[in-house]
Amino acid sequence: METVNAVLAQDLPDDPPWRETQVRDYLAECMPGERRISWVAEDDRLPEGESRIFAHVNLLLLGSIGVLEVLVHPRLRRRGLGRELVAVAARRAYLEGFSSLGVEAIGKTPAIGFYEALGFEKEYVETRSVLHLSKVDWSTLGEMANGISQGYRVEYHPGGPPDELIEAYAQAKTEAEDADQEMQPRSSDPQRLKDSLQTLHRRGLKPYIVLAIHEATGAVAGLTEVVVPAQHPERADQYDTIVVRDHRGYGIDRAIKARMLFELRSAEPGLLEVQTWNAQQNESMLKVNAELGFQLDRDWCEYGTGVPDLVQRLAPAE
């Protein structure tokens, strides 16, 4: 945690520090069919029985791609340690038969130059926005929460949707898979949705769900998801916000996101902020977020590279 919070203080000074709550769960738990492999760099000069982890690489293996996460204590950067950790993970990904690696690099941090220097190429960019609850105009937000058209009702489900709504919930995600909405990829299979919710709980991420139900058919017309991490409960993470194509134009997106903020204010009195990510071309959702009070923060970039080429580039010189 000392290294995690040192990195946050250096690279994301406005983000809340992490607490020592379910950190191992957060790092170790994953979805069925996925695996995590981690390596740490320790200070071997300490007395026997003591340990200090000053760098870490995590490799998540899912589907046909491996996803990297690298942390190096700021005072030990630019010494080749990060490069060495990436090389170790890349060799393992190669031995596991994976052909590509992805990584998330945060804009305005050294990670951008680091991964580009290793040959990673930018593939996708999202913009993070942050809402400070102390600055919310709750009166205006109430009008937005009640602004949904007749024929729809809004439901709040802390912990996840009930079993009787899982199929409809999954169908809403399936119909929106090709739409330009928030946070890709998403779980749209009913069983995978259940697995995803269970994994969130195991990792210390408490989910909150708000749904818009089309009363005539019982279909889920829209949904929004927020998780409150045990590791930094002062700031929640907004995940998917989806409005099914046939139900757009009825005020659903504003209504469900506004209702979510009211529910969070009651359920999580210690919550101070909510952060969300949007594709830069998703102008409609960016507009909704701006109306709610979210403020643009910084870009979050997804980079990728081929595993064989990366292993070759990082091989020790003969």
Question: For 123-147, what is each residue's pLDDT tens digit?
Answer: 999 999 999 999 999 999 999 999 9
Q: How does strand 100-106 pair with strand 121-132? A: unpaired
Q: Fold for domain 2-127+302-314?
A: Aminopeptidase (3.40.630)
Average pLDDT over residues 45-71: 86
Rg (CA), the chain: 21
**What's the CA gap between 189 and 33, in Å, rounded?**
14
Return phi, psi of residue 175, to 5°.
-70, -20
**CA 100/CA 120 separation, integer angstroms:** 10
Instruction: Give the span between the Cα atoms of 217 and 239, in whole angstroms.
Output: 26
Q: Residue 297: left if φ>0, alpha if ψ -120 to 50, beta else—which one? A: alpha
Q: Taking 50 as the threshold, does the pLDDT of residue 224 lie above it?
A: yes
Name the percent of the chain lying above pLDDT 70.
93
Lowest mean pLDDT, pick from 40-49, 103-112, 171-180: 171-180
Upper half-sphere CA count for residue 247 (Cβ side, 13 Å): 28
> Higher-confidence residue: 45 or 60?
60
pLDDT at 175 over 80: no
Phi-psi region of 260 (alpha: psi -120 to 50; beta: other; left: phi over 0): alpha
pLDDT of residue 181: 40
The CA distance from 1 to 53, in Å, is 9
Domain 137-292 coded CATH 3.90.420.10? no
For the chain, give the number of residues: 318
Burial (CB < 10 A; 0-12, 13-18, 19+), residue 88, is: middle
What pLDDT is recorded for position 43?
78
Every domain range in the chain assigned CATH 3.40.630.30:
2-127+302-314, 137-292
pTM comes to: 0.90
Confidence at residue 318, expressed as pLDDT on a 0 to 100 scale: 61
Judged against a pLDDT cut of 90, whether residue 174 lies above it is answered with: no
Q: Tell me which of 274 and 189 has the higher pLDDT.
A: 274
When pLDDT is averaged across residues 173-191 and rounded to a whole number, the result is: 59
Q: Is the pLDDT of residue 66 over 60?
A: yes
What's the pLDDT at 274? 98
Dist. CA 195–CA 202, nearest whole Å:
11
pLDDT, average across residues 88-108: 96
